Amino acid sequence: MIHAIHCTHCDEEAVIALFNDDDIEKKDPFCCNGCKTVYNILHDKGLDDYYQIKNNSKAYKRRSPVEVKNEKYNYLDNDDFLNEYSYANKDGLRTLEFYLEGIHCLACLWLVEKMPEFLEDVEVSRLDMGKSVASISIKPSGHFANIARELNNLGYRPHPLKRNEETIALKQKEDHKALIRIGIAGAGAANTMLFADFLYGGADGAYAHWFSLSTVVLSLPVLLYSAFPFYQNAWNAIKTKTVSIDVPIAIALIFGMCFGFYNLINGINHNYLDSLTDLVFFLLLSRYFLKKVQEKGLSANDLNFFYQSTSVLKKEGEEFIEIHPKYLKINDLIKVKANEIIPADGVIVSGESMLNNSLLTGESLPQKVKVGDKIFSGTQNIDNELIIQIEATDKNSRIGKILKQVEDGWIQKAQIVELTNKISKYFIYTTFILAGILFSYLFLQGRINDAFSRSLTLLIVTCPCALALATPLALTSTLSKASKKGIIIKNDEVIEKLSKVTSVFLDKTGTITYGNLKVQNFKKTSQSSLPLFDIIATLEQKSLHPVAKALREFATENGATQLLPMENYIEILGVGVSALIDQHFYEIKNWKLLQDQQEIASFELSDQIRKDSKAAIDSLKFLEITPKMISGDNADIVNKIAKEANLDQENIWANVSPEKKLNLIENSTNAIMVGDGANDAMALSKSFVGVAVHGSMDISLRSADVYLTTPGISPLVDLVIISRETMKVIYRNLTISLIYNCFSVIAAYNGFITPFIAAVIMPISSLTILLSTVIGTKELNTRLRID
């Protein structure tokens, strides 16, 4: 068996390994140019320790190869922008927060936080690894654009986050409050237990009275302050006439408190306060952990602050100045260079070029545009400079309208009632009916004291704490597993939904395929006087056209060794290139290479299927989920890819407009939509579960429920496995807790439950749930092969 070569920088498998020119022994392979560039930058700066630290530390998240993006980030120094996004510190520094793509291990922390040592203006650089958010403070003389460029060079693509001190302070205050609630609950519960212990141990007389008074005093801050969120949630649920698990918990807590006071006043030195404070502590803790895990990665909230990270050249007088697209107006003239994204809808007033529409429409081949043509924001200009007159910006542009529909659709998205809340509804009715029956039965027998105490006991001991623990515990471990696998889940409802999924709609361009052109079926038809691949590399060295890019890569992969001297180079847009090399006239046009008008080679170009797509689709079939493909591309290409991906003929749709995609999704039940482009956004937001793949547009990220941070669709298979296993654990946990509750109801009916028995049973039921979850997590680890 041949060992796969892994990239020195990102550890991904290097299919075609690249090496530095001076690396003669070929010791440091790279998977792509991006990784190679970053490696060399680090080396030049003397930051080689990065690799040592990386190899010594356990990877914290998976990282994918570095994408080379040439952004200038000049808009970061725009005053309007700075006022809106950054804030001034007390000591004269200015702070801006960035979400950094690609933060994955200890070495990243080292690199980002060492910035003040190799960048002049950076004063403080702090990274929160859990959130991948760096907070960077610079001197007034510094420029954020420089820093963003540097971060980009190091392979962490920065996205400025809109933060100001108020929102940060507010968020922190909430976090602190939650922690203090837990702290007080912990201290209160532990001490209450201690004093209750003396009571169970047989303290009597004046001591017993003092001890029980102590339990009441100690439990008050827990039941009044720490447990406040339960009362609040319960009240909200009652107000909206829904039921949540917090309702029965609040009921048990309130009755427990009354019972405690009543007994204290009547000189009965027993109460349930130790068990109840205990449960408040456990519940708060489990919910806190769940919240912390959810905040890992990019939260849905942060996504709304995501700034479109591009700048645009606007004509002002005779010159073009760099501004942010947000400040564009109708009738402005803008210049869009090669490889830039068109920032607004408009008409071309000068220049002609090729446009890549794939993100907007799903077409994989570029389209030619000329003066007078209307072009849309979100498309990419491929090879020539264009001057565009703006016709619609922001909300009025085609993409803006889609975005608006997405936002509206978001609100209408089908909600499901979560399993625990569904159960808690029946739970409440059942316990109240049972308590009522018990009360009237004993009351009619004339045992009034018994009637009160036993029915109250019933309500207290059936407090569904294990039930309330079941879901958060399972989800906490699941979400952290998922984020380790590079899957960011925006809300935990998705897990329950995913386990019910029966079919999955996959977008073609960029999802099943790579989303860029590759050379295929290269045929050498006759002899050339010079090495064939050298000729191709020479001819295509200057063109920015995607065909040229594909051919260059193809030539390099096939062993082009040198660039030959050429003369009379001409590129005709949309046709091809020609030049004179060694007194022969060479042309590349119509997917053919010609030497003095004679064909010497032919090739085909197409967007290729990702190497893991077929395996992922087969796995989905194995999991009994029907994979379906919808694409805006033409039928020929779609059929070809479908065949390669092993998709059934009846499950593919070609030439589908964004609106039709939406329609298809709306008419199918329990289907996942997976996509990346703007044309998928509406479908993503309306679908049962929307998944945005790596490299998606901002708009798709916003509308999806799940975001895959590693390329390809194979994480989707993990996602389905994770959700199914998690639901298994949740079902098991719920069953266990219901069994405990049945038992306590029977015992309470017969008057067996004393505060002592409750103090034993209630924590044990919670521990069983914990154990069941731990076992479930172990099982999940083996299925996902995580150590």
Partner 1 sequence: MEIIYFILPLVMGLAVMFVCGFIWMTKQGQYDDLETPAHRMLLDDQKLTLKTLNINPSINDLNKEKK
Backbone angles phi, psi at 505, to 5 degrees: -95, 120
Residues 557-596 that bind partner 1 (CB under 8 A): none
Q: Closer to partner 1 at the Cβ: 6 or 292?
A: 292
41 scored as a contact of partner 1 (CB under 8 A): no
Largest Cα–Cα distance of the chain, in whole Å? 117
Provide, rounded to whole angstroms, the least separation between the CB of residue 476 and partner 1.
Answer: 14
Q: Are 617 and 647 contacting, i.e. CB atoms less than 8 angstroms apart?
A: yes
Q: Closer to partner 1 at the Cβ: 115 or 699?
A: 115
59 scored as a contact of partner 1 (CB under 8 A): no
| Of the candidate residues 191, 357, 361, 543, the single one contacting partner 1 (CB under 8 A) | 191
167 scored as a contact of partner 1 (CB under 8 A): no
Name the segment binding partner 1 (CB under 8 A); options: 48-56, 357-365, 470-478, 726-734: 48-56
113 scored as a contact of partner 1 (CB under 8 A): yes
55 scored as a contact of partner 1 (CB under 8 A): no
Q: Using CA atoms, how far apart are residues 178 and 418, in angstroms rounded to an integer?
A: 24
Q: Are 296 and 131 contacting, i.e. CB atoms less than 8 angstroms apart?
A: yes
Provide, rounded to whole angstroms, the least separation between the CB of residue 762 and partner 1.
Answer: 23
170 scored as a contact of partner 1 (CB under 8 A): no
Q: Using CA atoms, how far apart are residues 93 and 388, in angstroms rounded to an integer?
A: 39
Q: Closer to partner 1 at the Cβ: 168 or 530?
A: 168
| Of the candidate residues 5, 106, 238, 434, the single one contacting partner 1 (CB under 8 A) | 106
| Of the candidate residues 161, 216, 218, 470, the single one contacting partner 1 (CB under 8 A) | 218
556 scored as a contact of partner 1 (CB under 8 A): no
Provide, rounded to whole angstroms, the least separation between the CB of residue 179 and partner 1.
Answer: 5
DSSP assignments along 13-57, one per residue: B-SS-B--TT-TT--S-BSSHHHHHHHHHHHHTT-THHHHHHHHS
| Of the candidate residues 53, 68, 220, 300, the single one contacting partner 1 (CB under 8 A) | 53
46 scored as a contact of partner 1 (CB under 8 A): yes
Q: Closer to partner 1 at the Cβ: 288 or 320?
A: 288
Number of residues interacting with partner 1: please give it, by CB under 8 A: 32
Provide, rounded to whole angstroms, the least separation between the CB of residue 589 and partner 1.
Answer: 51
Provide, rounded to whole angstroms, the least separation between the CB of residue 106 and partner 1.
Answer: 5
| Of the candidate residues 15, 26, 207, 502, the single one contacting partner 1 (CB under 8 A) | 207
290 scored as a contact of partner 1 (CB under 8 A): no
Say if residue 205 is exposed, middle or buried (CB neighbours under 10 Å; 0-12, 13-18, 19+).
exposed
187 scored as a contact of partner 1 (CB under 8 A): yes
Type of residue numbered 478: T
Provide, rounded to whole angstroms, the least separation between the CB of residue 89 and partner 1.
Answer: 15
172 scored as a contact of partner 1 (CB under 8 A): yes
Provide, rounded to whole angstroms, the least separation between the CB of residue 467 and partner 1.
Answer: 28
Provide, rounded to whole angstroms, the least separation between the CB of residue 129 and partner 1.
Answer: 5
Provide, rounded to whole angstroms, the least separation between the CB of residue 191 and partner 1.
Answer: 6
| Of the candidate residues 5, 18, 41, 47, the single one contacting partner 1 (CB under 8 A) | 47
Under DSSP, is residue 349 helix (H, G, I), strand (E, B) or coil? strand
DSSP assignments along 569-633, one per residue: EEEETTTEEEEEETTEEEEEETTEEEETTEEEEEEEEEEEEPTTHHHHHHHHHHTT-EEEEE-SS
299 scored as a contact of partner 1 (CB under 8 A): no
- Work out the angle at residue 290's Cα, subtended by the Cα atoms of residues 285 and 292, and round it to the nearest 5 degrees: 95
Q: Using CA atoms, how far apart are residues 426 and 432, in angstroms rounded to an integer?
A: 10
143 scored as a contact of partner 1 (CB under 8 A): no
Instruction: Give whole-number Cα distances, 405 to 151, 397, 399, 401, 729, in Å.
Output: 34, 12, 10, 6, 37
Burial 147-161, CB ≥16 within 10 A → b, else e: bbbbbbebbbbbbbb
| Of the candidate residues 4, 16, 170, 179, the single one contacting partner 1 (CB under 8 A) | 179
Classify residue 132 as left (phi > 0), alpha (psi -120 to 50) or beta: left
* Spatial CB neighbours of 634, under 8 Å, sequence gap ≥ 6: 363, 654, 655
Q: Using CA atoms, how far apart are residues 19 and 35, in angstroms rounded to an integer?
A: 11
118 scored as a contact of partner 1 (CB under 8 A): yes
Under DSSP, is residue 389 helix (H, G, I), strand (E, B) or coil? strand
Tokens of 717: 């298979």
The count of other CB atoms within 10 Å of the CB of residue 33 is 14
67 scored as a contact of partner 1 (CB under 8 A): no
Type of residue numbered 406: V
| Of the candidate residues 80, 165, 210, 368, the single one contacting partner 1 (CB under 8 A) | 210
Q: Are 655 and 336 contacting, i.e. CB atoms less than 8 angstroms apart?
A: no
Provide, rounded to whole angstroms, the least separation between the CB of residue 734 and partner 1.
Answer: 30
Name the segment binding partner 1 (CB under 8 A); options: 181-189, 257-265, 499-507, 687-695: 181-189
Name the segment binding partner 1 (CB under 8 A); options: 121-129, 153-161, 253-261, 301-309: 121-129
Q: Using CA atoms, how far apart are residues 627 and 652, in angstroms rounded to an integer?
A: 9
Residues 393-432 that bind partner 1 (CB under 8 A): none
> From residue 326 to residue 365, what is the string marking binding to partner 1 with x (rule CB under 8 A)?
----------------------------------------
| Of the candidate residues 91, 117, 166, 318, the single one contacting partner 1 (CB under 8 A) | 117
| Of the candidate residues 33, 37, 214, 384, the single one contacting partner 1 (CB under 8 A) | 214
Q: Are 676 and 657 contacting, i.e. CB atoms less than 8 angstroms apart?
A: no
* Spatial CB neighbours of 174, under 8 Å, sequence gap ≥ 6: none
Q: Using CA atoms, how far apart are residues 712 and 697, in angstroms rounded to an integer?
A: 15
> Footprint of partner 1 on this chain (CB under 8 A)?
45-49, 53, 57, 106, 109-110, 113-114, 117-118, 126-130, 172, 175-176, 179-180, 183-184, 187, 191, 207, 210, 214, 218
